[in-house]
């Protein structure tokens, strides 16, 4: 009980000393808070971005993979042969879909335009709408849901029907409030399309989003044709545990579609959805390291400032230390008081920095559509760092104060 009372008394004296030098304390707290804010804020924002990336790719399904083209250079006996298949044409995509008999769902799609204008009557969208040519399996393999209407059917693809499924952002942009977009006719690039469905809102997702129009892939080939038009092949096995087996099977089938010899290097790649997540998160790791470095450098400056304020405090309170020692205070008690004072300043700055860091980091989460993030790991790390700063900065001044000769201290002016 006596130790608890002594500890509380030290806290009271420390707070009183902190109040007596408000300007220096505020400046030191500000420096510490800035360092912790930079550290916690940036790392909270990164956690929000990671959460957004993971959520976005989860909508694709953890057991989804994509076949993409790539450029391969090979050497022959007499010359260098360049196989440039950085794109997949429609015939190859269709041939793969027809011959791939694995228990999986295969979809073919292509980006017809990334800067289209959609019109309905006198209303028109911004010239930023993505027009994607799809087949009847695209919604399933891409994780989209319909809020109303129907999907693009195999009949629409086979017959080249001018139908469209709209994203929610496009609907808001061209239709007045209360107007049902179903069975209305819109215009894209001079061609009329009948709206047969509306997608559920997906938010500010890194994958896809709501500013898009889906049309049959056959119609996209007809109206948006261009040289080397690239098609994507998405594959979703019926069961997640078949992913690796399906990946190997797909690679073998597509080598046949590409007419590759056994000794030829594959001129395409198979990318799993989770590997894309890992690649993006791996790139973000460098930002995390940079943020940590910036925060530590700032905290180092705060530690120097805190040590300075504590040395000045020891000098200003030399006579007080002499009085306390004269009436029986031990050197350990003096040292603990000054050390506790430094720790309190560090924790006050840390608390302010953690609060501001979480606030700033979650502002970023609003733009990425992520839920509110409370980075407990970084909060605990921030508290520990501030404790370390307080101990490192306060130890030398505390030892100096505890070693003062009480007779010399009482004569100090």
Residue found by looking up tokens 């001079």 in the block: 190
Are the C-beta atoms of 258 and 85 separated by less than 8 Å? Answer: yes
Residue 108 has pLDDT above 60, yes or no: yes
Residue 77's pLDDT is what? 45
Residue 208's pLDDT is what? 54
Instruction: Give whichever of 201-210, 336-345, 368-377 has the largest mean pLDDT.
Output: 336-345
Tell me the backbone φ, ψ of residue 203, rounded to 5 degrees.
85, -170
Residue 79's pLDDT is what? 40
| pLDDT tens per residue, range 264-307 | 888 888 887 766 666 666 767 777 777 778 777 877 777 777 77
Sign of CA dihedral 386, 390, 392, 393: positive
Angstrom distance (rounded) from CA 406 to CA 40: 44
Query: To the nearest whole number, what is the mean pLDDT of the chain?
Result: 81
Angstrom distance (rounded) from CA 297 to CA 289: 12
On whether the pTM is more than 0.75, the answer is no
* Residue 35 vs residue 82, higher pLDDT: 35
- The overall longest dimension of the chain from CA atoms, in Å, is 103
Are the C-beta atoms of 341 and 14 separated by less than 8 Å? Answer: yes
Mean pLDDT of 221-242: 89
Residue spans of alpha helices (H) in 224-317: 243-257, 273-316
Are the C-beta atoms of 182 and 149 separated by less than 8 Å? Answer: yes
Residue 82's pLDDT is what? 46
DSSP letter for each residue of 82-141: EEEE-S--HHHHHHHHHH--SSEEEEEEEEEEEEE-EEETTEE--TTEEEEEE-TTHHHH
Angstrom distance (rounded) from CA 299 to CA 191: 61
Residue 342: count of CB within 10 angstroms of its CB: 28
């Amino acid at each position: 009980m006596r130790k608890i009372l002594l500890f509380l008394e030290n806290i009271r004296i420390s707070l009183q000393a902190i109040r007596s030098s408000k300007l220096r304390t505020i400046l030191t707290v500000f420096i510490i808070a800035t360092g912790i804010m930079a550290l916690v804020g940036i790392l909270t924002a990164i956690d929000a971005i990671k959460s957004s990336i993971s959520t976005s790719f989860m909508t694709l399904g953890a057991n989804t993979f994509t076949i993409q083209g790539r450029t391969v250079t090979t050497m022959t006996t007499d010359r260098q042969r360049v196989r440039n298949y950085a794109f997949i044409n429609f015939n190859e995509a269709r041939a793969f879909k027809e011959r791939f008999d694995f228990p999986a769902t295969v979809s073919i799609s292509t980006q017809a335009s990334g800067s289209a204008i959609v019109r309905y009557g006198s209303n028109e969208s911004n010239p930023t709408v993505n027009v994607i040519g799809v087949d009847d399996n695209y919604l399933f393999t891409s994780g989209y849901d319909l809020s109303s209407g129907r999907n693009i059917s195999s009949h629409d693809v086979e017959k080249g029907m001018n139908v469209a499924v709209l994203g929610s952002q496009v609907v808001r942009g061209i239709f007045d409030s209360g107007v049902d977009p179903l069975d209305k006719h819109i215009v894209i690039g001079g061609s009329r399309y009948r709206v047969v469905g509306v997608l559920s809102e997906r938010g500010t997702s890194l994958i896809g989003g709501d500013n898009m129009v889906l049309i049959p892939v056959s119609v996209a080939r007809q109206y948006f044709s261009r040289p080397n038009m690239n098609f994507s092949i998405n594959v979703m096995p019926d069961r997640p545990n078949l992913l690796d087996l399906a990946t190997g099977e797909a690679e073998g089938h597509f080598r046949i579609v590409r007419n590759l010899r056994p000794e030829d290097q594959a001129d395409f790649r198979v990318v799993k959805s989770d590997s894309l997540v890992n690649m993006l998160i791996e790139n973000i790791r460098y930002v995390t390291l940079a943020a940590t470095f910036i925060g530590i450098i700032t905290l180092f400056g705060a530690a120097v400032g805190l040590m300075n304020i504590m040395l000045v405090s020891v000098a200003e309170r030399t006579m007080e230390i002499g009085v306390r020692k004269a009436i029986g205070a031990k050197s350990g008690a003096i040292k603990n008081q000054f050390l506790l004072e430094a720790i309190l300043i560090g924790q006050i700055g840390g608390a302010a920095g953690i609060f501001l860091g979480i606030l700033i980091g979650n502002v970023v989460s609003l733009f990425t559509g992520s839920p509110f993030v409370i980075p407990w790991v970084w909060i605990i790390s921030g508290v520990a760092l501030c404790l370390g700063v307080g101990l490192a900065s306060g130890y030398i001044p505390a030892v100096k104060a505890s070693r003062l000769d009480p007779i010399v201290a009482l004569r100090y002016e």
